[in-house]
């Protein structure tokens, strides 16, 4: 039997529902006001959501007042119970509406509401202690008017509560007289209260604070909202007889999700005064509206930048359909050439067939077998497994794997016992999924490959493990050609009015260059693609738009572009990470790499340009979204790593280029190029 006679009066004062509720609401409201901070709008692409859906959960601190004696129709204890308290569970789905620029809104929640508690212990005429426990529960419906008095994340709410009784059980316990300790205990009495009100109408008032869990550059946004509310006894008498009533202080948290509205360029504060001319001269930019588009050339446009580039090395070797021979586009050495092979001087051994774009990178990637052989030769304790995947079956895949093993053994002299082989009909992460109907040949090419697997950390990328862990990256000091911050941008403010747009750029001598067609609002073209070998030039730009009604619309502008060369000692860095086909969330495997390797290398006051890319498989619009999702995930991880060091000195630029022909790192002719186009590139530029 529980003893509850300790300082009853003091306990009642301490747990008075009114004093506690008032103190909690005041302290909670002051705390929520103090912690509110303006939302950072930099890089915002979406507004805060107007509609939010979520789940609220918390604890009900219940306070019983009044008296109850006739517990049920056939049971009345010898003593009357007065007052009590307890804690119950509250869980309810939530619907909320409020415009970001408005103070007013509304909330609606309906769910499970527990009001259980224990009455204060009483002593019966036999000098025996008696206890009464209740387990009241309701289905509650709570519409509320929402007020954000400061148009901030802090809000208050108030409204009615409609409750329908769900549970009404009790447990009565009668103890023994302390003077007769040998007395046999009376069995507990359990049952349901009689004369219960089936429904209640009361009211509540509360306050909360929205803590954004997502940035405003995400369409879907999550919000965590702690809250506190008070529901006084008015209308909350559980029974239709006697004087027992209930007041409740509720404390909890709500997890909400909503989708913001896209912010237009005018709302983002982009461009605009005067007529229709853009002048970019001596490194100064003035962008004016030009009909329906604006042109911007960068203020500081380096022609060349020395860069320490970290090349990711996919652990795949792709084979041509119908062949088990290593494709000739891969660099295959003779045995006498091995002694001259150096990982940081790969240009000595170039592939026979380069595609014409990003030759430097493809030299790295087509030397993968030589890089692997060189590393295994220098680390004699390493072992690998070669897994061949073929649409013709495991036997054909095994032959592919054996062809690579033969090369490593015969050319680099690797002990055959260090290399195991096996065959599969498809890789662990296949591109070709059941039921696929489009671009099947490209997908099959991507799945016909040999995967290099290893448990030897010296061969693998930092912090990576498993069958698809990339190999250790290759590091090369070189000149970065056409860095992203040298691109000229063309903003088409009403791009949705056109099915496509293209650009005609004419220099002073009448030479015309054509770019496009495009479907994006922002078109980016490398400055050197326009200027060629020139350091500056005057151009007339014609935007040609095809409307949805079939008409052709032309808008013209004049620009002057000047490229400025920075000091030659400027040293940038470039990191890249690669993804599996159609994946954006695999960024999780790179989190420690980005946190521990990339983030610490960002200099004070530096700029980080993050751009995502995809291959050309799938719909263009989907690929653009996929690439932007990848880039944003990378930014969030790096920002989180910097914030733990209390760094706020880094500027970020984030782009998703999708499969854009002029902006993708590689062509898409071979599966290697498509594989390495599924990337996020991180350019780190020193502060000026």
Tens-digit pLDDT profile for residues 251-260: 999 999 998 8
- Calculate mean pLDDT across residues 373-390: 92
| pLDDT at 116 > cutoff 80 | yes
CB-based contacts of 267: which residues, under 8 Å, 6+ apart? none
What distance in Å separates the CA atoms of residue 505 and residue 515, rounded to the nearest whole number? 8
Q: How confident is the model at residue 85 (pLDDT cuts 50, 70, 90)?
A: very high
Tens-digit pLDDT profile for residues 536-549: 788 888 888 887 77
Asked which of 77-86, 148-157, 288-297 is least confident by mean pLDDT, the reply is: 288-297
- pLDDT at position 46: 74
Give the Cα-Cα-Cα angle 600, 606, 607 (nearest 5 degrees): 110
Higher pLDDT, 460 or 77: 77
Asked which of 276-280, 366-370, 426-430, 465-469 is least confident by mean pLDDT, the reply is: 276-280
- Calculate mean pLDDT across residues 619-633: 87
- pLDDT at position 40: 40
Higher pLDDT, 575 or 408: 408
Q: Which domains, ranges and CATH numbers included, belong to the chain?
A: 8-35+45-259 (2.40.160), 279-304+482-562 (2.60.40.10), 315-469 (3.30.1330.60), 571-685 (3.30.1330.60)
Tens-digit pLDDT profile for residues 57-81: 999 999 999 999 999 989 999 999 9
Cα dihedral angle (596, 599, 600, 604), rounded to 10 degrees? -170
Asked which of 35-44, 110-119, 404-413 is least confident by mean pLDDT, the reply is: 35-44
Tell me the pTM: 0.46
Q: Are strands 498-507 and 536-547 parallel, antiparallel or unpaired?
A: antiparallel
Q: How confident is the model at residue 24 (pLDDT cuts 50, 70, 90)?
A: low
Q: How confident is the model at residue 300 (pLDDT cuts 50, 70, 90)?
A: very low
Contact 216, 47 (CB under 8 A): yes
Higher pLDDT, 667 or 213: 213
- Calculate mean pLDDT across residues 607-615: 89
- pLDDT at position 550: 77
- Calculate mean pLDDT across residues 301-306: 47
Structural tokens at position 628: 């932007």
Phi, psi of 246 (to 5 degrees): -140, 135
What distance in Å separates the CA atoms of residue 131 and residue 87, rounded to the nearest whole number? 17
For all residues of the chain together, what is the average pLDDT? 80
| pLDDT at 431 > cutoff 60 | yes
Asked which of 101-105, 239-243, 279-283, 491-495 is least confident by mean pLDDT, the reply is: 279-283
- Calculate mean pLDDT across residues 381-396: 93
3-state helix, strand, coil in the chain (%, to 5): 20, 40, 40
CB-based contacts of 489: which residues, under 8 Å, 6+ apart? 295, 296, 297, 522, 523, 524
- Calculate mean pLDDT across residues 131-136: 96
| pLDDT at 305 > cutoff 90 | no
- pLDDT at position 561: 72
């Amino acid at each position: 039997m529980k003893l509850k006679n300790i300082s009853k009066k003091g306990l009642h004062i301490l747990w008075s529902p009114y004093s506690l509720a008032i103190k909690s609401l005041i302290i909670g409201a002051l705390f929520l006001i103090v912690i509110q901070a303006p939302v950072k709008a930099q890089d915002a692409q979406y507004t805060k959501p107007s509609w939010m859906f979520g789940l609220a959960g918390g604890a009900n601190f219940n306070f019983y007042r009044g008296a109850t004696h006739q517990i049920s129709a056939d049971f009345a204890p010898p003593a009357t119970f007065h007052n009590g308290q307890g804690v119950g569970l509250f869980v309810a789905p939530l619907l909320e509406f409020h415009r970001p620029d408005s103070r007013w809104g509304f909330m609606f929640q309906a769910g499970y509401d527990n009001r259980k508690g224990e009455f204060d212990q009483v002593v019966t005429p036999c000098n025996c202690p008696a206890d009464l426990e209740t387990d009241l529960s309701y289905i509650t419906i709570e519409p509320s008017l929402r007020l954000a008095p400061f148009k901030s994340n802090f809000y208050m709410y108030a409204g009615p509560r409609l409750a329908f009784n769900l549970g009404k059980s009790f447990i009565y316990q009668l103890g023994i007289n302390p003077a007769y300790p040998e007395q046999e205990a009376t069995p507990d009495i359990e049952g349901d209260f009689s004369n219960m009100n089936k429904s209640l109408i009361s009211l509540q008032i509360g306050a909360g604070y929205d803590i954004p869990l997502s940035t405003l550059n995400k369409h879907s946004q999550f919000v965590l909202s702690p809250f506190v509310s008070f529901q006084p006894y008015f209308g909350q008498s559980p029974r239709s007889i006697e004087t027992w009533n209930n007041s409740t202080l509720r404390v909890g948290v709500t997890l909400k999700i909503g989708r913001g509205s896209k912010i237009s360029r005018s709302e983002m504060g982009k461009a605009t005064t005067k007529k229709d001319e853009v002048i970019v001269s001596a490194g100064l930019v003035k962008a004016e509206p030009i009909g329906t588009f604006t042109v911007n050339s960068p203020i500081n446009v380096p022609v060349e930048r020395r860069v320490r580039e970290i090349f990711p090395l996919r652990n795949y070797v792709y084979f041509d359909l119908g062949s088990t021979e290593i494709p000739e586009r891969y660099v295959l050495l003779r045995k006498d050439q091995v002694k001259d092979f150096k990982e940081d001087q790969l240009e000595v051994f170039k592939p026979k067939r380069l595609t014409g774009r990003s030759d430097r990178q493809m030299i790295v990637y087509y030397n993968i077998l030589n890089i692997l052989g060189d590393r295994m030769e220098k680390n004699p304790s390493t072992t690998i497994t070669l897994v061949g995947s073929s649409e013709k079956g495991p036997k054909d895949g095994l032959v592919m794997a054996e062809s690579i093993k033969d090369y490593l053994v015969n050319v680099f002299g690797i002990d055959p016992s260090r290399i195991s082989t096996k065959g599969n009909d498809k890789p662990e992460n296949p591109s070709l999924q059941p039921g696929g109907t489009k671009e099947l040949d490209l997908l099959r090419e991507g799945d016909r490959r040999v995967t290099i697997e290893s448990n030897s950390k010296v061969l693998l990328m930092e912090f990576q493990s498993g069958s698809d862990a990339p190999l250790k990256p290759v590091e090369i000091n070189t000149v970065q050609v056409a860095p992203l911050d040298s691109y000229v941008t063309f903003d088409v403010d009403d791009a949705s009015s056109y099915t496509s747009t293209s650009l005609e750029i004419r220099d002073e001598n009448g030479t015309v260059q054509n770019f496009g067609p495009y479907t994006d609002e922002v078109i980016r073209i490398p400055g050197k693609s326009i200027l060629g070998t020139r350091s500056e030039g005057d151009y007339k730009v014609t935007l040609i738009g095809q409307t949805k009604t079939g008409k052709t619309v032309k808008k013209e502008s004049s620009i002057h572009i000047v490229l400025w060369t920075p000091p030659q000692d400027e040293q940038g860095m470039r990191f890249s990470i690669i993804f599996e086909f159609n994946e954006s969330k695999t960024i999780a495997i790179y989190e420690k790499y980005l946190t521990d390797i990339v983030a610490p290398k960002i200099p004070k006051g530096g700029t980080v340009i993050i751009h995502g890319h995809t291959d050309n498989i799938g719909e263009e619009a989907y690929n653009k979204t996929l690439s932007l999702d990848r880039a944003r995930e990378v930014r969030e991880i790096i920002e989180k790593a910097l914030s733990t060091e209390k760094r706020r000195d880094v500027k970020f630029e984030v782009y998703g280029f999708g499969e854009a022909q002029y902006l993708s790192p590689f062509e898409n002719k071979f599966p290697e190029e498509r594989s390495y186009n599924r990337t996020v590139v991180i350019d780190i530029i020193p502060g000026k």
